[in-house]
Structure 1
Amino acid sequence: MEDSIGAIQTFPKFRSLPAELRLMIWAYCLPCRVVQMHDSAYLWSQSSRIQKRIRTAPAMSAKPPLITQVCQESRAFALANGRVEKTAFWNTPVWFNRKTDTIHIDEDSYRKFGRREDGSGEDAEPGLQELVECSSIPLSVSRSIFLGFDPIHPRGSDFARWSLRHIIERRECTVVLTSTSIHLNYQDACASGLFGHFAEETPAFVDINDARQVKALSTACDMAPMRKGSTRNWDVLQVYEQISSEYMKHYITCFLQCVRTMWLKENNALRDTFIPWKFNRGREEKAPYKTILEQLPQFTFVVAVHFHESKDKRHNSSKNQEKSIAFFNRLREE
């Protein structure tokens, strides 16, 4: 990123550009982020147990986008496209763009969202409820919500059925197959192209069927430091190998078996005792299953990669962000 900025230090008359072009530049700099239903930061501080669940719970970035600190015009543009909303259960304010950001739900939300059929559970924040109920806001779900067969809840848990209803309301849904983390310095995180122009898009969703995104993950893995005697960054390398070897397709098959079975049971097309693993390939094309399954949205299968800034004294994220802001100010003043 530093080299790319240095290459255009003499960009002239930024303020003289037509307003339409300046707004296009600010729009290009806005991040597209993923916000969890639950408050990861709070849970992390309250329980070390969360540290063992990073593969299923991508953390969220709650800070406003960097361009809110550049100038009045960029701040006004950001405020017109996003705002601080309460999307966590402990009233933590989170910057959210309803046009581009995604709400993520997973099994960690089970005990905190809504009231279950037995009357237990807690009410969600009204603001969060509104975001999830709005079908125009993109939604992502953890595949583990729908996995397995429980004889006590043969149609799926209450939370899984609630999640399925919100999935059906949307034409598209992102499914997180697994989550991992990568430690990079700020400069490399920006240069990899995986976390946005200013490393603000964390976690990054890598579509395992998108060659460009998989290549960006490969680039980030090549940049990830590997130190002798340390297991840091090994996990993300293993995830990349699973994508390359098409091992992830096994996760996809299991998810589709379970979600299709659950939806058919909801429509009384299968008996409640039917086990998902018996839903063989090709059954979805048979009548009367086909018509019912066509109501399911288009699924995009991704891996969630969360960026952690490595403790590299040569690169400091706050200094690099200050350098980015100073760069925009120079363009604006020329």
Structure 2
Amino acid sequence: MRRILMLATGGTIASKESGHGLSPAITSEELLGYVPAVGELCRVEAIQLMNLDSTNIGPSHWLEMAAAIRARYGEYDGFVLTHGTDTMAYTAAALSYLIQDSPKPIVITGSQKSICLHDTDARMNLYNSFLYACDRDSHDVSLVFDGKVILGTRARKERTKSFNAFSSVDYPEAAVIRDGKLIRYLAPTAYAYGAEPVFYSSMEDRVLLLTLIPGMGAEALRQLKNSYQAVILQSFGVGGLPGGSGGAFAQAMEEWLEAGKTIVMMTQVPYEGSDMAVYQVGQQVKEKFQLMEAYNMTLEAAATKLMWVLGQTNRPEQVRELFYRPVQHDVIC
């Protein structure tokens, strides 16, 4: 029987009413007690890594999660992390960069309602996560939710309350779980017997997201230059910059680049990605400046990948090479 380690981090799945709103309070052992059928799938052990609302989870916690898995990687056949849904897609993407080419599955799950409620999705999500983690063809980082298995770099939360909260953006779901049966849509990654993943232990958290709206000025971009190492500019449609290559935004971008900072352009549109070469307002900007383009990466993947890349190097040519190097099908350009 396979050995699976559950790492609990808090979130709605572990929440109780505090009198001032829901707050994580249920322990890892208590979570497992609600789903005794997991014991028929595997030998499971659990640790309480943290107990946070996922709104409060960020890069330092991702590094802690990766370090906890690294320290125990040789002892278990797979890992299940319970997590709040609000930043789950960010965590799934971040762990995909911090733990690369893992022959063992690292599964992230949670729920829209607490596991202690009668009409909850928590018990099924948790059971399905162990079911997937126990399968010998499961590898790498995945998010399991509402019967879907989504690659860690392709997940996005699209609904705030419904049980089908997550979608796989611009890439097929890896598998589905129906009536206790795992049905794979994508062939699993082949790893050599005994292969080890590549772990990373540094991230740069000074990454800014600036979402443009019509009529917005460039003052904020200019004034924030000294506080951040990189900025992701979310523009419109397939990608363009207000004012083109000679406007106020272009001037502010030039200041960022002269200061050795990194700029990534991406679209606000959820699906199908960017292509700055289509319109003059995008093509001229991309030709004039050394910009990177996120294409059809999710925001969660683009942001956490940039944090990971800048945690390894700040040399522009190396930043570009690492950012465009595919990890778990995160970028298709």
Normalising by structure 1, we get a TM-score of 0.31
* Higher helix proportion: 1
* Higher strand proportion: 2
Normalising by structure 2, we get a TM-score of 0.31
